[in-house]
Every structure is written in structure tokens, then in C-alpha cells.
A and B are shown apart, each in its own frame.
Chain A
Amino acid sequence: MKTIGYIIQKEFRQIFRNKGMLPIIFILPILQLIILSNAATYEVKNIKFAYIDYDHTSTSRALIEKFNASTYFNVLTDFPSQEKASSAMLAGEVDVVLEIPNHFERKLLREKTAYLSITINAIDGAAAGVESGYVNQIVQSFNKEVKMNIMNTSKKALQPITIESIPSFWYNTSLDYKTFMVPGILVLLVTMITLFLSGMNIVREKEIGTLEQINVTPIRKSQFIIGKLFPFWVIGMGLLTVGLILAKIIFNIPMLGSLLLLYAYTSIYILVILGMGLLISNFTDTQQQAMFIAWFFVVIFILMSGLFTPIESMPKWAQIVTEFNPIKYFVEIVRMVLLKGSGLMNILPQLVKTLLYAIIMNVLAVWSYKKVN
């Protein structure tokens, strides 16, 4: 016990003496949290919108006025021809082009149907999807007005019954993206920092040769590993605390559930990450190698965590892969506990899986750590 205590003391000393390391541990994550949380949004605003009006009637002008009134669209210009509009889109000057054909109003009155052409720059597929949604909403509401104003003065009896659905967004009523992004980004920070630090730590002793000296001593490997990794467990918990405080103060994230439960889960989760870090250390010889391997896993875990893209939209095989992604569980838990106020019983499945993961990772890591080769 005394030995472990002294190793922990030594690790902390080394961490705090490393002038390059301290800002990496504490300042960078805070900056990341603030920058990413404000920048990573699904909303698409200031869409550069242009139109080609061949019709020039009050109806077509009313439609354009609708776009003008929307806060999402910046109505830039009207083009005299489709060629001009195409070349403007190629040059990146516009994102969405609406084309109102000739006789639009007349067709609408006589045949009760008319067609519009929408061209969307889909280089960014996600943005294009959102833009298409906005355009549809505007056209739909315009459609309704047209029916009322123009057609139904005489044919009131024929007016179709419309069913309107009004969604209510639970646990995030205003659908504020920060409410669900901030907890997710907090997860990333805790994971990245603890994985990188623990992955590089034992390799560093290999690099500077102290591991060889340690290996000749009678120290047990469990003592050594616990002593080495415990400080990073503490740092991980510290990061969570700092992150939660910032989330409350800066972003006013709701915290409905029990923070104690969140801490309890995190304490197990960090064990998974530390085990992974140790495993990486065991199979690498330099800090550089360790860093690259840690990056490889972090990138995959982040992109498959459901933080930026919903897991439900992934192909079947990818969904199976995400079952092995610890970040996915942590993201789920953080959101459930903070936003929904879930209790122990609600998060039990993830908790058990994480615990299992922690046990497997650490057994593998300790088993593969060899004092002799």
C-alpha cells in the first residue's frame, strides 16, 4: 500500500512538473468545450438563396416573399436564366435556386397543380438535406394559403380536410442543439485526455529506460499499474467536474438526474479507457506509436458514438460495431442522466456493459504487461 502511495505521489509530481503537459490537461479541454459546443450545430442558417422567376405574377412574387421572410434564407438575387443560376452555383455564390416556370399562376388556377424546380448544392449532404426540408416547409405553407385565397371562394365544399401534427420535443423542448451537444462533447474530452495520457505514460518509462530499472525491482506489476494509472483516473474525474461546472455556467445545461449516479458511472467508464491506454502502452515502444494508435481508436469511437450522426441511421453492421464502443454508452448515459433525469434502473444495461468492458480491458492489459521478455 505504501509503495502504491509513493508511486502515485511520484506520478503527480511528474505531471505537475511537466510544464508542457499541464495546459494540455486542463486548458485545452476547456477551450475545446467552449469552441466545439458553440460551433457544432445541426442548424443551417444564412442559406444563400436565389430564384428565377419566369412567371412574374402576384402569386410568384408572393412565394418569393415567403422565402424572404424566413430567417434561414438570405435572398440574394434573381437570375434571368437558368444558365446564369447554374454558373453562380458552380462558383459557390448560391446554395439553393428556385425556378418558377412560365404560366405558374395560370396552371395553378386552371389545373390546380403546378410545378416548381428547386436546385440545391449538395456538396455537403447533411446541409442539403436540411435545406430541402426548409424549402418544403415554406412551399407547403404557401400551398395552403393559395388554396384558401384563390380556389376556395367558389368551391368551399370541396376543401379537403387537413390533418396537422404539432410535435412536442420532450427533454429538450426548444430543440436547442447545445443541450445535447455539450454533454456529448464533455464525454469526448474526458475520454481523449485520459486515453492519451495513460497510453503515453508507461511507454514514456520505456523510452527513457526507467522501466528496465523498475522491472528489476521486486515491485508487483499490480502495484505498479495501479500506481501509474490512478492519477489519470483522478484527472478524468477532475475533468468531468470542470466540464459539468462550465456546462452549467456557460451553457446552462439542464441537470435533471443524479450527479452522483453520473460520477459513479464515469468512475467505471474511466477504468475502460485506462485499461485501453495501458494495453496500447504494452504493445508500443515509443510515445509516437502510442499516440497514433490512440488516435485511431478515438476517431473511430467518436464518429461511431452517435454524437454527430445518429446510430439508428448507420448500416446494420456498423450498428453492431457500435456495441463495442464505450463512448457510445457514455454519451447515452450523460444525456439520459442530465437531460431526462434517468435513474439507476434506466441506465443499468449500459452500466453493466461498461463494467464488463472495464473488467475485460484491464485483465487483458495486466496480462499483457510483462516485466520479462
Chain B
Amino acid sequence: MSITLNHISKSYKKLKAVQDISFNVEPGELFGLIGPDGAGKTTIFRIITTLLIPDAGTASVAGFDVIKDYQAIRNTVGYMPGRFSLYQDLTVEENLTFFATIFGTTIAENYDLIEDIYVQIEPFKDRRAGKLSGGMKQKLALCCALIHKPKVLFLDEPTSGVDPVSRKEFWEMLKRLQQKGITILVSTPYMDEAALCDRIALIQDGKILEIDAPEAIVNKFPKKIYNVGADNMYKLIRTLQGYEHLYSVFPFGEFVHYTDKRDSFEAADLKSYLKNAGLTDISIEATQPNIEDAFMELAK
């Protein structure tokens, strides 16, 4: 096991940040922690990066206990906190040299690992880190986290505040790192990124709702889902909430995702109900559930 958590709990005063969390990450796996803000993702990261001591439970990373062998863990993991936390007044190259030095290595020694990423920011190596764009900062932070050739990489919401193109690039980089044998634990509030992980843990209010491969989680979804559309989104949702056979309704892009209580759903019945309520341009068609639907269902 690359990362193991056994019944980990941690509270801040009265707030229970994480409660009785257990999961395992296999070596070479890309594992995602998926959950909204405040679900406890950062607390889990802080515990397994030895920054925070849990109230209860045990955890180990790469075979080292987070309490007893914290020194060994610090040598073997790379951590990229959610906030950009490099020196804004040092240049790209100085930041990288700094982190290489405190890990007792040099840029040249592990250059092959960061090469694909570093070449993209190399033209700006004399620029101060504070003057980089969001995507560039992210790449620099990733380089700094990789400079000592870690066995395990922790990324806490690496794509928050990054544009869609850079996000896509970033995930491609993670996939390449995974192929080099690095175990990656990544957290994200974006459900679309969840599908890119090997396995995910859905977390809410400090508890794990489900752990499985993204497809498996979607397949477990118990209901049939329908895309319902109409001219007035707000009115559509309000009206659906008044429908007697409604199971759930959530807005999803230009449609709403609707599930029905009955096993045999009749689209015509719903259509006439909506028409009577004064809605026009009504469309109802079956669709595939996704992670977000699964999360909403589990979080109910």
C-alpha cells in the first residue's frame, strides 16, 4: 500500500473536520478526493503530510507511519498546497534551486522527471514567481514538488482558479507522472476531473460517502436520469419540485437532471403537467448519469 488511512479523526475545537476516515491507495495509482469546500480534504492532506497530528487513528505513507517516521515521509513525498506558496519575490529558477537545495539535491540530478513541465516555464526562468500567470505558477509549484523525485505526490486542489485549457494540460501532466510510477493523491471540487482518476473517494462533512472507480460509482446509480428543458429554468425547477412523482431535481447546464420515484416513468404525463403550469419548449429525454449525479444522490 502506498497510502493507508485507518479510522482517522481530527477535530478543531468543536468542529469535526474528518471523522473515522479509512482508505488505501495502491502504488502507482491516481487517487482523487472529491468533495465540496469544507469537506475535510485539506485536513486529510495535512495529516498525511505530517503537518497535523490526528486525534485518533493511524496513517502511513510509503510504508512510513505519519507520527513515528515523519522525517522519512518528508523525504519521500512531494506536496503542493492549495494556495500558491512559493516565494513570489524570487525568480522561477531561484525557487526551484531553493527547494532542490533543501531536499539536498540539484536541478540537474532530477531534471528528467520535471523536464516536460519545466521546458514550458523555462523561457521565464528569470521572472519573479509573483509575476507568472495562474497556469505557470501551477507548473512551477509542481516542479518544486517533484524536484526531489518523490515516491508519492500530494496535490491539494491543484486546479482551483486555473483556466480550462491549463486544467486540461495539468491533468495530462499528472497522467504522465503516473506512468513514471509516482503514486498521486489529488483533491478537487470539480466533478469532471473525478472521471480522470483511477479511483475516487467522495467526501462530505468529513465523512467518506463512497470509494470506487469513477465508472463503478456512476454504474451504481440506482435511477434513470432524464434531461428536462424548458424556456424558464427557475420556473421549471419550482414546478418540478411540486410534482408528486419527483425523486430529485438538480440544475445541470442548460437542462435539469430529473429522476422519478416510479419504476415506469411516463414522459407524456410529466410533459402535460409542465405544460399546464405554463412552461413552453419542453423537452424530456433519457441521459447517462455522471459523478455529480452520483454525488448528489449519495449526499442526500
Question: Contact at A219–B102, with CB atoms within 8 Å?
Answer: yes
Is the beta-carbon distance between B88 and A215 smaller than 8 angstroms?
no
> Which of A13, A208, A215, A218 has the most CB atoms of chain B within a 10 A radius of its CB?
A218
Q: Is A18 positioned at the interface, with any CB of B under 8 Å from its CB?
A: yes
Given contacts A210-B87, A218-B71, contact A6 B98 (CB under 8 A): yes
Interface membership of chain B positions 36-73, coded 1 if the CB is closer than 8 angstroms to chain A and 0 otherwise: 00000000000001111100000000000000001100
**Nearest-CB residue, chain B, relative to A219:** B102
Contact B50 A14, beta carbon cutoff 8 Å: no
How far, in whole Å, are A292 and B101 apart by their CA atoms in the complex? 34
Asked if B75 is at the interface (CB within 8 A of a chain A CB), the reply is yes
A215 to B103, CA, bound (A): 12
- CB of B288, distance to nearest CB on chain A (Å): 40
Residue of A whose beta carbon sits closest to that of B99 = A217
Write out the residue numbers on chain B whose beta carbons fall within 8 Å of the beta carbon of A14.
87, 89-90
Complex A-B: 11 CB contacts under 8 Å: A3-B104, A6-B102, A7-B102, A13-B90, A212-B81, A212-B85, A213-B85, A216-B51, A216-B74, A218-B102, A372-B53
- CA gap between A3 and B70 in the complex, in Å: 20
Are A217 and B74 CB-contacts (below 8 A) given A17-B89, A210-B85, A210-B86?
yes
In the bound complex, what is the Cα–Cα distance between A10 and B94 (angstroms)?
A: 8
For B70, give its contact among A209, A210, A213, A372 (CB under 8 Å): A372
Is A214 among interface residues, defined by CB-CB distance under 8 A?
Answer: yes
Identify the A interface with B (CB < 8 A): 2-3, 6-7, 10, 13-14, 17-18, 208-210, 212-219, 371-373
Residues of A within 8 Å of B89, CB to CB, are: 13-14, 17-18
A209 contact set on B, CB distance < 8 A: 81, 83-85
User: Chain A interface secondary structure, helix, strand, loop or mixed?
Assistant: helix
Question: Do B49 and A216 have beta carbons less than 8 Å apart?
Answer: yes
Q: Are A373 and B74 in contact (CB under 8 A)?
A: no
10 tightest A-B CB contacts, nearest first: A209-B85, A6-B101, A216-B79, A218-B74, A209-B83, A219-B102, A213-B85, A218-B75, A210-B85, A17-B89
> How far apart sit A212 and B97, CA to CA, in the bound complex (Å)?
18
Of B51, B53, B90, B102, the residue contacting A212 (CB under 8 A) is B51
Which A residues are in CB contact (< 8 Å) with B90? 10, 13-14
The smallest beta-carbon distance between A269 and chain B, in angstroms, is 30
Instruction: Report the bound CA distance from A140 to B264 in whole Å.
Output: 119
Q: Is B217 an interface residue, CB under 8 A from the partner?
A: no
Chain B contacts of A17 at CB under 8 A?
89
Q: Which residues of A contact B53 (CB under 8 A)?
A: 372-373
| Residue pair B103, A218 in contact (C-beta under 8 Å) | yes
Taking a contact as CB atoms under 8 Å apart, the answer to whether B102 and A3 are in contact is: yes
The smallest C-beta distance from B124 to any residue of chain A, in angstroms, reads 17
Contact yes or no, A3 B51, CB < 8 A:
no
B residues near A18, Cβ cutoff 8 Å: 89
CA distance A372 to B68 in the complex (A): 13
For the complex, is B77 an interface residue (Cβ under 8 Å from A)? yes
Asked whether, in the complex, the Cβ of A214 is within 8 Å of the Cβ of B102, the reply is yes
Q: Are A2 and B101 in contact (CB under 8 A)?
A: yes
Contact of B88 among A208, A213, A217, A218 (CB under 8 A): A208
- A215 closest partner in B (C-beta): B51
Smallest CB separation, B147 vs chain A (Å):
10
- How close is A216's CB to chain B, nearest CB, in angstroms? 4
In angstroms, how far is the closest chain A Cβ from the Cβ of B284? 48
Using Cβ atoms and an 8 Å threshold, which residues of chain A touch B97? Answer: 6
Distance, CA A10 to CA B53, complexed state (A): 30
- A351 vs B86: C-alpha distance when bound (angstroms): 41
Q: Are B85's CB and A373's CB within 8 A?
A: no
Given contacts A7-B98, A213-B99, A372-B50, 4 further A-B pairs with CB under 8 A are A7-B102, A18-B89, A216-B51, A372-B52
